[in-house]
């Protein structure tokens, strides 16, 4: 029977490596690489969408290969967007950011506010 960890893609992947240095990428390098990849995919996707809009406006039949190509590029774009959101998300849930603290007038609730 398969173990759940076999399906977790993060456990089975090695950390991203900087192609220039061969060292593991820092979080900043990973974000930069994802943003550059988003730009490259966007430069491919948006002309395809414009072509699709032109074809639809003219009333011509849309080629199935064009639809497949657009679907593949859109899926790649969404995957990169999700990866970037994941890289921008804070790793540790901070009580102060999520309202897990209280203010009060007594010393028990004083957090050192002046």
Q: CB-hemisphere CA count at 13 Å for 50?
A: 6
- Within a domain: 62: yes
What 3-state class would DSSP assign to 87? helix
Give the CA distances from residue 58 to residues 5, 43, 102, 113, in Å, rounded to whole numbers and listed in that order.
Answer: 50, 24, 62, 66
Domain count for the chain, please give it. 1
- Within a domain: 7: no
- Within a domain: 19: no
pLDDT of res. 40: 95
- Within a domain: 113: no
Residues contacting 33, CB < 8 A, separation 6+: 16, 25
- Within a domain: 17: no
- Within a domain: 57: yes
- Within a domain: 50: yes
- Within a domain: 22: no
Range(s) of the domain holding residue 79: 27-84
Per-residue pLDDT tens, the chain, 114 aa: give them: 445 544 444 445 666 777 777 888 888 888 899 999 999 999 999 999 999 999 999 999 989 999 999 999 999 999 999 998 888 876 666 666 666 666 666 666 555 555
Which tokens go with 6? Answer: 């076999």
């Amino acid at each position: 029977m398969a173990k759940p960890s076999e399906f977790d893609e993060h456990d089975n992947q090695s950390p991203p490596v900087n192609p220039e240095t061969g060292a593991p990428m820092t979080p900043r390098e990973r974000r930069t690489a994802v943003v550059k990849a988003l730009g490259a995919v966007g430069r491919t996707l948006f002309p395809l969408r414009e072509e699709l809009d032109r074809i639809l406006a003219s009333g011509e039949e849309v080629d199935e290969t064009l639809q497949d190509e657009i679907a593949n590029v859109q899926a790649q774009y969404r995957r990169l967007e999700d990866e970037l959101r994941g890289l921008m998300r804070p790793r540790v849930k901070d009580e102060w950011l999520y309202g897990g603290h209280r203010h009060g007038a007594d010393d028990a609730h004083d957090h050192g506010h002046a």
